[in-house]
Chain A
Amino acid sequence: MATPATVHSHAPQGFIRKYIFSLDHKVIGLQYYFLALTAVFVGMFLSLLMRIHMIWPTASIPLVGEIKPETYLALLTMHGTIMVFFVLTTAPQGGFGNYILPIQIGAPDMAFPVLNMLSFWTTFVGFIVILCAFFVQGGAPLHGWTGYPPLSAVPSAGPGEALGADLWITAIAIFCVASLMGALNFITTTLDLRAKGMTLMRMPLTVWSWFITAILGLLAFGVLLSAGILLLMDRNLGTSFYVPLVVINGQVMGHKGGSPLLWQHLFWFFGHPEVYIAILPGMGVASQILSTFSRKPIFGYRAMVYAMLAIGFFGFMVWGHHMFMSGMSPYSAFAFSILTMCIGVPSAIKTFNWLGTMWKGHVRFDTPMLYAIGFVSLFVSGGLSGPFLAQPVLDIPLHDTYFVVGHFHLIMGVAAIFGIFAATYYWFPKMFGRMMNETLGRIHFFITLAGTYAIFMPMHYLGMAGQTRRYSQFTEVAYQTKLLPLQTFMTYAAFVTIAAQFIFVINLFWSMFKGPKASDNPWDATTLEWTTATPPPHDNFGGKTPVVHNGPYEYGVPGASKDYVMQTDPPTQPVH
């Protein structure tokens, strides 16, 4: 249980202990990363099928065949679930958090390496279980990633709601357990394994973001787990937590008296913090990269920390804004609305601080920096539609339209993905010892930026024009057919954007083996991961224990011999 970080200072030699059931946080981080990379391609393929179906509803797709309306709903469910859990939660926290956090605080490993390994393999099992839902009788479930009962709670409610839905809930429960183990490990590591001199206010903002994300995960995933257990009981043990008296196909179900709203409360109490679990690590990475590539200290370090804490705190108080449609009391709706708009304050603080960091800096436009700027751009574009939806009076007409789809894809989906890309281009040299190709990186960036805006910006206009979301086709609905040209444009944009992702994959794998060798600190950065060898040795610092003397973003320090001072360099400020 309490396997200490000091026990395994010698790297294991066997293939299985070294690469499969490894206890090394770096290997586990890469395992998480490649799991998320696999998942993102599955999720992206599903979205492509949906986009094709929307504009050519009768087209027969090779290997898949014709997409029926229920297949469309299954694609929608699995796309959302796989992307939210196995990509946006897995890559930024499990992947980069695992790889980088211990090195950035000067630790030889995570606090509980065995638990770390278990949490990865549990996540892996969860992913396999959710994929199985495609191949069972009836196929994948139809209830969307939010799994609202009674649809999700009654096995006879539709194709895919039988075994497929059981597998879906089980996969999510497994994922919850894995995330809880991971969160426990991140919190203990950050609090207990920091090197001498690494005070809380000297931690890089990336570490702060992973730490706060872990706290959110620790408090949120237990709630989803409980909600999932109640749902499984309703489905399999005949209880009525969520299911009222329902009649399906003329048949009265055995349930009575349950409330679908109970699920919505529990789900969104998890669901809203989950949004921040996806985006906070991206904020940390953007801060790190904007400071490094602007050659300036981060603007308002403490304000950035407090803003992230405030976002995490408010994140637990706003779940009701997902439920304005449910007929809640206007007083509750008012409270949720005000609290939601409060989140705009720390978000704006962060945005202004990012801009302030770049202001008058000697900005280096390398690919990681482009993606960090892209992150800020998407965060603003996606974030600005938030205050619209935070108001019940606007949310009610917009809620079931494409406006919401555009909003959450920009802010939670693509912005978080840009955070993952930024982190990949930034830490790739440290992780693999080679540089990624800069030209391919830039091409990838510009196509992806333009492409994602082309896909998701028109959704806002579609929503305002009244185009409903979750409908499998629009070609038969008179007033919606007028909007088809815009949908067609979005589908073509999706083709181009998805094609551009293969540039990234080629760049990733080609550079891993053929890229030019990277130095230990190719970006002239200051944090601890750049003080060690590239790639880092098994115990991260080759038997040495770093001692920290400086803050994380000491760029352009007056009187210093170069334009940056590393965290382990002699102190820049006299001790007083």
Chain B
Amino acid sequence: MATYTPSTPVDDIGQKPPAPPITGGGDDGRGGDVPDYGARLRRARLGLICGIATVGMVFISLTSAYIFRRGLPTFQGESNSYVRDWGSVDLPWLLLGINTAILLVSSISMELARRKAARQAALAPVTSIPGVSLGEEKNFPWLGITVVLGFAFLVGQGLAWGELHNRGFFVSTNPSSSFAFLLTVAHALHLAGGMIALVWASSASLFHRPVEARRIAVDITAWYWHFMAVLWIYIFALLGLAR
């Protein structure tokens, strides 16, 4: 175990600072009755990383299935030869482009909501002192806006599916339309899960939960939401580039 010396000699400036003491393990600050929100936030984020890894694996395996199936030759009895049956889906690009823009804007509003929640949590000890006020903070409902935009995205996706039906593409029409529906619906379901978390996080203040607990809920929902935006761009690119 390295010995920690708190004072750094002047002529050591620019050198690598001494290693901090290795306490090892998870010193998660348990003990006492006051919950340690810093530790809770770290734990929730770690859990979220694992969750994102899981969702990532689901979409990685769907991608590999997509690429495999796309390149697969199919035996055709009539011509007694192998042909590609992949086909091509005529996706409603404009509508999907608008949906993408909506989702990206929702990601920005989610980030602003996350920062606001973090600021409120950081200032909570100060504002809880009677008579202390930090001035009137603009109470812009970023979370509410994100919920509305997320809902708009889902409605937009619904319209896109309807448009695909109008153009004669159903889930069983050909393998490319199967994947187009599968990937977009799977993403929409995951986003809907994020919406439930968002509603839960926004309603936290109704149940008089501590501002720090609300901050954790908003924080991890926000990272999940950003992941959903990135995932959507990935799916959009896959459907567009590997048609």
Contacts and interface: CB of A to CB of B under 8 A. Distances in A.
B24 A197 contact: yes
Given A6-B30, A192-B26, A1 B172 contact: no
Chain A, interface size: which category? 35 or more
Nearest to B51: A184
B24 A196 contact: yes
A112 B51 CA distance: 13
Interface of A is mostly: loop
Interface residues of B, number: 52
A238 B53 contact: no
Interface in B1-52: 1, 22-28, 30-31, 35-36, 39-44, 46-47, 50-51
Interface in A523-576: 545, 548, 575-576
Contact of A192 (B43, B56, B57, B175): B43
A262 B25 CA distance: 43
A558 B39 CA distance: 39
Nearest to A262: B68
B1 A1 contact: no
B233 interface: no
B160 interface: no
B57 A2 contact: no
Contacts, number: 160
B74 A256 contact: yes
B61 A575 contact: no
B77 interface: yes
Determine the main DSSP class of B at the interface with A: helix
B75 interface: yes
A225 B58 contact: yes
B46 A230 contact: no
Interface string B188-212: 0000000001001000000000000
Given A265-B68, A575-B1, A199 B30 contact: no
A222 interface: yes
Interface in B49-84: 50-51, 53-58, 60-62, 64-65, 68-69, 72, 74-75, 77
B196 to A, nearest CB: 11
Interface stretch (A239-247, A350-358, A465-473, A495-503): A239-247
A237 B172 contact: yes
A188 B46 contact: yes
Nearest to B201: A1
Contact of A226 (B27, B65, B68): B65
B100 interface: no
B44 A230 contact: no
A191 interface: yes
B28 A239 contact: no
A219 B77 CA distance: 40
B47 A184 contact: yes
A226 B62 contact: yes
A202 B26 CA distance: 12
Smallest CB-CB A-B distances: 10 pairs = A222-B57, A238-B172, A257-B74, A199-B24, A2-B44, A194-B25, A198-B25, A194-B26, A184-B50, A226-B61
10 contacts: A2-B44, A2-B213, A4-B39, A111-B46, A111-B47, A115-B47, A218-B54, A230-B65, A245-B77, A262-B69
Given A185-B47, A187-B46, A225-B58, 6 more contacts: A2-B44, A106-B25, A107-B26, A219-B53, A222-B54, A226-B61
